[in-house]
Chain A
């Protein structure tokens, strides 16, 4: 997570790109220029307040004391260093006794070294505090991700926001809230340095000060122009970089190795890699060209300035108005001035860069917050009736489409068609309902609406007559046990994966019962640490990998442990062999006794143990009834059934 700088820089480009897009320079991003600019000024101080408020909360007032100490020594040390050459020279030519001179020189140097020691110490302490501050913020970020509203997080916007906010804490020392706080402090430090040095130079000569300031402004301008120019290539660099990362990843994923070898894709990939590198290098070269031009201008300007400064100082000395030590001091001050300017610019650039990241983070923290204090369902744990009234649902933007073959949704903006359209449905308490239909019919979306994972775009969903939206989400979820299509386990112990509660708080007998009912107990008992054995090796190298069939059973065990009054099963047997599939069906059948159940499957045969079958197509119910009545009726269900049954039925 604390990656090296190179890769950080690249990831950060995304940020810059967005900022750029907001400036309205890319793809006609209709930036409302002035309004935004006003907003930005307000934000600058707002973010600063936010960051330092959080710093105070997390790390205490000591953090500010450290920052203050660092500031004092940060300004003092360079000044002492600049003054040293002059002071020592003054000492050496003072004509005092040799012993005294040596003592004085030693005194100066020791003073300087003490300051250097303290400055280094304070700087290290300050940076440590800011580093740990970021780690503390990580926890906040993770908690937010887990506790926010799921639907908001699942939208394309939500995912983008999550990725952007993640940069705030997971992108190393140079990005995010830590870098923001540090850059801000460095900016202050350099500003103080500039003011102090400016006063020293200005006291001697206003002319010199003007010269320094104007040269500084010119250099800043050149550098800014180069930066702006470089930004124009960032977009492509970003794209190339994520492409490179993609191919990097995919080309060594073990299972892809089969296709790569069978189809001889190695030459194709290597060629692509080299093309990408070449392009990346030439883009960088293009950017560097700008920086080089700015650098050359900078060197020429410095040369001109130095000629003027040296000339002026030498003139003053020749006129007897300046001593050698003062001459050396001014040389040091002027060189130091340049350092302050450079440091200031760097800090300002970093601040601007990280300000965006911090802003994104704050937006994420305020996004999709679950409203607290809503009541729980009236009849927890009892058989529920679920009613949908005129429910429509439309995917937002690039929202993840869980529906297979739903081609419309990845378009810009909103999906053009409703995934669920004006659906009315009542699932009676204790009813067993089957949802069938072709890919993309809206089956998975419908079950997400049923259990409150998604809110309808229009229309209402009721649980025992109470509108879902008015109930506490977490409490509503308690009433549902869903076995999703995608099998997912965490690299935690089996017990935690099944019980879904903190380690040590699970109900042992219940856990064993659910494992047993799911047909997994024997396997789990045979593991080295039984139900405390970790799954996979991500967290525990001793972890155990389960087969597809076993994972399917584990999903079932999880639902059994939860023992909720409503059970939803989404196409749960796709990867199983016929015998295992048939066994699984029997287990499901057993499990849903005495519960309200919704079952989704492509195997129409499996819907036979349901009371009622809904045939969905394009988000609408096209047929409804029992298997018998639907078969009698003819129409899409009977046709589809016949299609599937055909091969099984033509017995010879």
Chain B
């Protein structure tokens, strides 16, 4: 467990952040606090007056007191209802804003930092705990409750002090002696100390037990969730489960964890109940004592019956505040411990220093990129993904990158895009190390379609412009280039049609259509370098051949890099790099490499052999097919 100081250091830092986000939140909570305590204590006073007046038979006075009481209740009720409306809204805002803070930080990190397991874990942990245990909003209300309990304790103490000070009438013997200020103060102080101590002990004991239970439980919930969401909720898996008759196997796995879950919650409920019982027991002893003490004061004539109700009320407040203070502080401790992870995430430093020099703007697109003895190892792995890669990408050339799965093609692209930095060696743009450039400016040189590219559930035009200003003419232009024009025109809202159903009721698109839109997005940037990683994987042969046919037009006047398993695509690239095991093993034109009979030729033949059987028969004359 963290120390008291570090807990509140975290807590206050977060409160400050909330205050910076919206400066009305904390004052609103304070106002609410004043109102709710005001209602309680004013109520106690006025009720006491009412009872005394009734006992005295002063009905006119009693009516006045009653009216005051009712008016006070009305006033406080109305005021807190009005404040409640504001608080609800503020609470929601604070709750949601937390997720945006996380993302703002995530966006500002470089890709490599973000991909580090410990960083990603912090992010996910913060998300999950905020979802499950309550986040900033809960922290805020906890602080509110704690402050309220503290003030409540002070107020009830000062009221109760009055009770102790009241002198009993003479002639009650031992009872009178007990009721006189000093003994009664001591009695009360003893009771209060006992209650605080008891409440704390109960909390401690069960906190330990609870921790033990929850530690045993780590991960069970995640697994049940995995099984429900990813296995049962994955409707694509449904057909596989059925064809392969996996039902029993899955149920078996599930029931193991459901049983654990059952046992856990059963135990957790028991602890909860026992803690509740113990708390009630401690509180009961205090309340019995409190009533007796107050009654003692009444029977010895020290206070009136009206005052009795007031003091008993105050003592009730004391007990309640005492328990809630301890319980809520315990919860706060938990939340602050979680939140430390969140703050640590916010404090994560980028692995790499960001450069700042602007990229030279050239209208002729003369950007020359070179890899100089670049090696790269993915963080947390031992094997080099790229080994001593040394190459120059021809300006305005069409470069194809081929190789087996895992040979380093995509890594090459990621380094080029500066998503990662070389472990050794350097990459230069027009002779300057790319690390020295301003990141955003450098990236603006590239229009990329990654293998696992992503479109978002926003309107088509926003996807194409990536959220930038809408230039209608240009959007249509690139859509046409990417062969997506007729598709978008066919959508119900044209450019304003939402994709997918996540944000609005949009259209679903196929993998092939998505690829076309991603291509349009890459072209919209009008970047001097266009990179396409497996852009035809989801297309059928006809659509694939159409993309090939348009390729020249699309990349005209730019440098282009093309990765594909379809060897055919190499035919229209003038330069081919072959990767094998992280190295560049061959480079040249299709003709040269094919003639060389190396790695490239092997791959080519593996695919072409089925077609090559009939190379002797031109497609225009299929009549004389395979012999």
Contacts and interface: CB of A to CB of B under 8 A. Distances in A.
A620 interface: no
A642 B295 contact: no
A314 B63 contact: yes
Interface string A146-158: 1100100110000
A412 B546 CA distance: 32
A632 B626 CA distance: 9
Given A131-B269, A299-B74, A453 B243 contact: yes
B295 A92 contact: yes
Interface string B280-304: 1100100110011001101110000
Given A259-B450, A578-B604, A647-B548, A98 B611 contact: no
B249 A647 contact: no
A334 interface: no
A228 interface: no
B607 A648 contact: yes
Interface in A383-418: 400-401, 404-407, 410
A368 to B, nearest CB: 11
Interface string A91-109: 1110000110110011001
A263 B619 contact: no
Interface stretch (A196-204, A206-214, A481-489): A481-489
B77 interface: yes
Contact of B242 (A264, A453, A642): A453
Contact of B565 (A3, A270, A306, A576): A576
A159 B272 CA distance: 37
A261 B615 CA distance: 45
A259 B111 CA distance: 11
A502 B295 CA distance: 70
Nearest to B222: A538
B228 interface: yes
A576 B59 contact: no
Nearest to B616: A649
Interface residues of B, number: 178
B12 interface: no
B467 A267 contact: yes
Interface string B298-328: 1110000100110000000000000000000
Contact of B258 (A138, A300, A608): A138
Contacts of B608: 648-649
A577 interface: yes
B540 A602 contact: yes
Contacts of A247: 456-457, 503
Interface string B227-244: 110111111111111111
A102 B295 contact: yes
Interface stretch (A67-75, A122-130, A517-525, A589-597): A122-130
B250 A127 contact: no
Nearest to A406: B510
B4 interface: no
B292 A488 contact: no
Contacts of A289: 85
B585 interface: no
Contacts of B233: 162, 166
A237 to B, nearest CB: 10
Given A105-B292, A292-B81, A644-B568, A244 B603 contact: no
Nearest to A437: B540
Contacts of A120: 276-277, 280
Nearest to A320: B57
A486 B236 contact: yes
Interface in A243-269: 243-244, 246-248, 250-269
A611 B481 CA distance: 40
A139, A251, A263 interface centre (most CB from chain B within 10 Å)? A263
Contacts of A318: 59
B412 interface: no
B537 A574 contact: yes
Interface residues on A, range: 35 or more
A492 B226 CA distance: 11
A496 B252 CA distance: 11
Interface stretch (A272-280, A371-379, A462-470): A272-280
B241 A605 contact: no
Contacts of B250: 146, 490
Nearest to B99: A248
Contacts of B291: 88, 105-106, 109
A314 B62 contact: yes
Contacts of B461: none
A579 B403 CA distance: 9
A310 B70 contact: yes
Contacts of A288: 84-85, 88-89
Nearest to B505: A239
Given A1-B221, A132-B262, A582-B606, A265 B467 contact: yes
Interface stretch (B27-35, B152-160, B336-344, B440-448): B440-448
B147 to A, nearest CB: 22
Contacts of B280: 113, 116-117, 120
A124 B265 CA distance: 13
Contact of B603 (A276, A502, A578, A641): A578
A605 to B, nearest CB: 3
A580 B277 CA distance: 66
Contact of B238 (A154, A481, A491, A603): A154
Contacts of A577: 403-405, 407, 565, 603
A535 to B, nearest CB: 12
Contacts of B539: 439
In this complex, which of A253, A266, A548 has the most chain B Cβ atoms within 10 angstroms of its Cβ? A266
B238 A265 contact: no
Contact of B457 (A101, A246, A632): A246
A30 B137 CA distance: 41
Contacts of A608: 610
Nearest to B298: A92
A324 interface: yes
A268 B462 contact: yes
Given A299-B77, A299-B81, A538-B223, A578 B607 contact: yes
B393 interface: no
B450 A640 contact: no
A410 B507 contact: yes
A258 B111 contact: yes
Given A109-B291, A255-B454, A273-B100, A307 B115 contact: no
Nearest to B71: A303
A142 B232 contact: yes
Contacts of B253: 492, 496, 503, 539
A116 B283 CA distance: 11
B239 A113 contact: no
Nearest to A448: B239
Contacts of B292: 102, 105-106, 109
A31 interface: no
B317 to A, nearest CB: 15
A317 interface: yes
Interface stretch (B101-109, B196-204, B470-478): B101-109
Interface stretch (A43-51, A358-366, A472-480): A472-480
Contacts of A643: 541-542, 545
A426 interface: no
B622 to A, nearest CB: 5
B166 interface: no
B54 interface: yes
A150 B244 CA distance: 13
Contacts of B305: 89, 92-93, 324
Interface string B578-612: 00000000000001001000000011101111111
Interface centre among A109, A162, A262, A646 (most CB of B within 10 A): A262
Contact of B571 (A143, A451, A627, A650): A650
11 contacts: A110-B284, A150-B242, A243-B457, A248-B99, A258-B452, A259-B453, A453-B239, A453-B243, A477-B244, A488-B237, A604-B541
Given A265-B467, A307-B67, A577-B405, 5 more contacts: A281-B93, A486-B236, A490-B250, A538-B226, A634-B622
